[in-house]
Structure 1
Amino acid sequence: MATATTRHGDRRVSPVFVGILAVTAVTGWATWTEFAAQPGIAVFLFVTAAWVVSLCLHEYAHARTALHSGDISVGAKGYLTLNPLKYTHALLSIVLPVLFVIMGGIGLPGGAVFIERDRIRGRWRHSLISAAGPLTNVLFAAVCTAPFWLHALDGVPRDFRYALAFLALLQVTAALLNFLPVPGLDGYGVLEPWLSYRVKRQVEPFAPFGLLFVFALLWVPSINSAFFDVIDTLLRGLGIDVRDQYCGQQLYRFWQGTDQYCAISP
Structure 2
Amino acid sequence: MLSELISAFRGGQVDFQSIVIQLLALLVIIFLVLPFHEWAHAFTALKLGDTSVKYRGRLSFNPLAHIDVMGSICLLCFGFGWAKPVPIDPRNFKNEKTGMAITALAGPVANLIAALVGDLIFFAIGAFAPSFFMTTVGGYIGYFLRYYVMINVYLAVFNLVPIPPLDGSKILFVFLPDRIVYKFYQYERYIMFALFALLWMGFLSTPLAYLSNFVQNGIDFIAKLPFLWAF
TM-score range, shorter chain: 0.7 to 0.9
Look up the SS of the partner of 2:37 in the other structure: helix
In 2, Cα distance between equivalents of 1:190 and 1:226 = 19
Pair 1:112 & 2:85 matched: yes
- Per-residue deviation, 1:118: 1.0
TM-score normalised over the length of structure 1? 0.64
Q: Check the 8 A contact 1:184/1:209 in 2, yes or no.
A: no
**Who is 2:37 aligned against?**
58
**Aligned pair 1:214/2:214, yes or no?**
no
5+ residue gaps in structure 2? 1-16, 222-231
Give runs of aligned pairs for residues 224-263 of structure 1, distance below 5 A.
224-236=205-217, 238-239=219-220
Gaps of 5+ in 1: 1-37, 241-266
1:212 Cα deviation (Å)?
Answer: 3.1
Aligned length: 197
Task: Within 5 Å, give how 1:1-266 maps onto structure 2.
Answer: 44-45=23-24, 47-87=26-66, 90-91=67-68, 95-104=69-78, 106-122=79-95, 123-147=97-121, 152=127, 154=130, 155-156=132-133, 157-221=138-202, 223-236=204-217, 238-239=219-220
Q: Percent identity?
A: 25
Q: TM-score, with normalisation over the residues of structure 2?
A: 0.73
- Over the aligned positions, Cα root-mean-square deviation in angstroms equals 2.8
Q: Which amino acid aligns with 2:208?
A: F
> Quick check: 2:48–2:99 contact (8 Å CA) kept in 1?
yes
| Partner-residue secondary structure (3-state), 1:181 | coil
Separation in 2, partners of 1:209, 1:136? 28
* Matched letter for residue 164 of structure 1: L
Q: 1:71 to 1:142 in 2, by over 3 A?
A: same
Contact 2:72 2:83 (C-alpha < 8 Å) held by counterparts: no
The answer (yes or no) to whether the contact 1:130–1:190 under 8 Å persists in 2 is yes
Relative to 1, partners in 2 of residues 1:79 and 1:214: Cα closer, same or farther, differing over 3 Å?
same
2 CA distance for matches of 1:162 and 1:51? 18
Is the alpha carbon distance of 1:144 and 1:184 closer, same or farther for their aligned partners in structure 2, counting shifts above 3 Å?
same
Identify if the C-alpha distance between structure 1 residues 135 and 41 changes in structure 2 by more than 3 Å, giving closer, same or farther: same
Cα gap change, 1:192/1:43 in structure 2, threshold over 3 Å: closer, same or farther? closer
Contact kept in structure 1, 2:104 and 2:171, CA below 8 Å: yes
Task: Go from structure 1 to structure 2 and tell me whether the alpha carbon gap of 1:182 and 1:42 turns closer, same or farther (over 3 Å shift).
Answer: closer
Asked if the contact 2:50/2:93 (under 8 Å) is kept, the reply is: yes
CA distance in 2, matches of 1:227, 1:126: 24
Structure 1 residue 79 displacement after superposition: 0.9
Amino acid corresponding to residue 58 of structure 2 in structure 1: Y
Q: Is the 8 A contact 2:163 2:169 kept in 1?
A: yes
| Deviation of the 1:236 alpha carbon | 4.8
> Whole-Å Cα distance in 1 between the matches of residues 182 and 162 of structure 2?
16
| 2:72–2:82 contact (8 Å) kept in structure 1 | no
